Amino acid sequence: MLAGAAVALVGGLAYWPALDNPFIADDYAFFVYADNFLHDWHHLAGFPLGWHRLVANLFFALCFRLFGFEPAGYYAASLFVHLLNAALVALLVREVTTSPANGGASGRMAFVAALFFAAYERPQEAVFWITASHELFLATGALATAFFYARWRRTGRAADYAAALAAFVFAAFSKESFVVIPALLLLIEIFAPVERRPEASGRAWLAQAPFWLLAAGNLAYFHLWQTPDPWYGKFYGLTPHFLVVYPRSVGRLLFGALVFAAAGLVVERSRARVWLKEKTVGLWLAWLLAVTLPYSLVLYVNYLPSRHNYLPSVGVAGLVAFFFVRAWERAGSRAARAGVAAVLVVALAANVVALRRKDRDYGLRAQPTEQLITLLNLNRAAASVVVYDFPYESIVSDAAAKYLTPFDPKRLRFRKTGDGRSVPPGSVVLRWRDDTHTLELMACPGGGLPGC
């Protein structure tokens, strides 16, 4: 209980700043989808990627019903799911590291892994941006699938296997990258110790067949479905760019774990080669490498966006836990153990501070719509509002106007600088400036209006 409370406290402290954030970018567009769905459930397919992200779409619709246009409720719900995932990390780490050789180490590793995962700043976008909640639910499904599968290997109980399949189906409707989960089960089969296998040794391998078949079927369907979709052709694909994204993304994630590895080597250098041969290290390193791979097909950045680091971060947390516990166990004195513990405390504090700083970035991302809402409310009597260089799609601004102002979205016009068309008479003219993060008022209709 105390360990769970500590994880919840650290995770809550780390991500608490999100609770007073406004909606950001695509969040406004989801108001339209959720509103349509709540009026007619057939509109569920109208959500972006429809059934492929069913869980997150239903989550947003439920939050819309419960909290309306108050963002704090959405963020609180996302934080709850994140803390639930941290608990699943603890359960999984304990399950896959339990063996007579480990003794009480598995419990300590589980606690440290959950603690680090709860406060880790690298995947913060999954919590700080409501629209990225599909990453939270994918992780919930993947972690639950891996945990129940690992427990089934130990117990042989049909209920554990059924729970693993159910969690896999949940993940399948969370995000299309769930297809990596069978590979994670294979890693568990290879690296995780087992106290008691099912009666037939071949049964465990046969039991993986449904997961692989479902993933392969979905992948085949998704490939056929996405081929004519320009969205995927624009943002994702297997190109030489993968050779840039993949190593950079893995390196950025591994950095946190290497700090703890270095701390352990200071305690006992002779253990370095032994550690690298440990199956637990192999499991979490392979987890990180496997999960990062499909995400690295992105074409629009040179490393993974923060939200795509969420599931790979489980591997980082596992490595951190292993290195910390091994260093702590090998420390020869109380002072040495206190030093190892101090490394963990400093790391957690550094992540909390980093999240506080990152939170300001999300405030800046919210500024275009926040300022637009303010100016539309002030200039509600304008014949039209012409906005130059607005950084988000028109569905975002239209939804912001529709739901949070009395201004008719049909009176909004969006243009790029250099557009030579004349401005309609009686229009308020605005221009977004990236350098100052402000929506400047460029012109008002004759005689002026409130807010001009």
In this prediction, residue 226 carries a pLDDT of: 52
- Asked which of 274, 308, 330 is the last residue of a domain, the reply is 330
pLDDT interval class at 266 (50, 70, 90): low
Structural domain including 175 reads 2-330
pLDDT interval class at 193 (50, 70, 90): confident
Same domain, 326 and 434: no
Q: Based on the structure, what is the number of domains in the chain?
A: 2
Report the C-alpha gap between 191 and 447 in whole angstroms.
75
Same domain, 117 and 211: yes
Same domain, 255 and 137: yes
> Could you tell me if residue 340 is inside a domain?
no
End-to-end CA distance of the chain: 57
What pTM does this model have? 0.91
> Could you tell me if residue 78 is inside a domain?
yes
Report the C-alpha gap between 291 and 139 in whole angstroms.
11
Report the C-alpha gap between 251 and 312 in whole angstroms.
12
Same domain, 250 and 391: no
Percent of residues, the chain, with pLDDT higher than 90: 48
Q: What is the mean pLDDT of the chain?
A: 85
Residues 173/46, Cβ–Cβ less than 8 Å: no
Same domain, 375 and 326: no
Report the C-alpha gap between 230 and 244 in whole angstroms.
23
> Could you tell me if residue 336 is inside a domain?
no
The predicted model gives 325-331 an average pLDDT of 82
Percent of residues, the chain, with pLDDT higher than 70: 85
Report the C-alpha gap between 83 and 189 in whole angstroms.
27
> Could you tell me if residue 274 is inside a domain?
yes
Report the C-alpha gap between 364 and 371 in whole angstroms.
11
> What are the tens digits of pLDDT across the range 394-437?
899 999 999 999 998 888 989 888 877 788 887 889 999 988 89
> Could you tell me if residue 174 is inside a domain?
yes
> What are the tens digits of pLDDT across the range 306-325?
999 999 999 999 998 988 88
> Could you tell me if residue 358 is inside a domain?
no
Same domain, 323 and 389: no
In this prediction, residue 124 carries a pLDDT of: 94
Q: Is the pLDDT of residue 165 over 60?
A: yes
> Could you tell me if residue 353 is inside a domain?
no
The predicted model gives 40-63 an average pLDDT of 80
Same domain, 260 and 166: yes
Same domain, 8 and 121: yes
> Could you tell me if residue 350 is inside a domain?
no
- Asked which of 280, 313, 330 is the last residue of a domain, the reply is 330
Same domain, 303 and 403: no
Report the C-alpha gap between 217 and 205 in whole angstroms.
19
In this prediction, residue 432 carries a pLDDT of: 94
In this prediction, residue 374 carries a pLDDT of: 92
> What are the tens digits of pLDDT across the range 99-111?
655 656 788 999 9
Same domain, 111 and 176: yes
pLDDT interval class at 147 (50, 70, 90): very high
In this prediction, residue 296 carries a pLDDT of: 86
In this prediction, residue 274 carries a pLDDT of: 52
DSSP string over 178-203: GGGHHHHHHHHHHHS--SS--SSTTH
In this prediction, residue 256 carries a pLDDT of: 67
> What are the tens digits of pLDDT across the range 358-375?
999 999 999 999 999 999
Same domain, 311 and 437: no
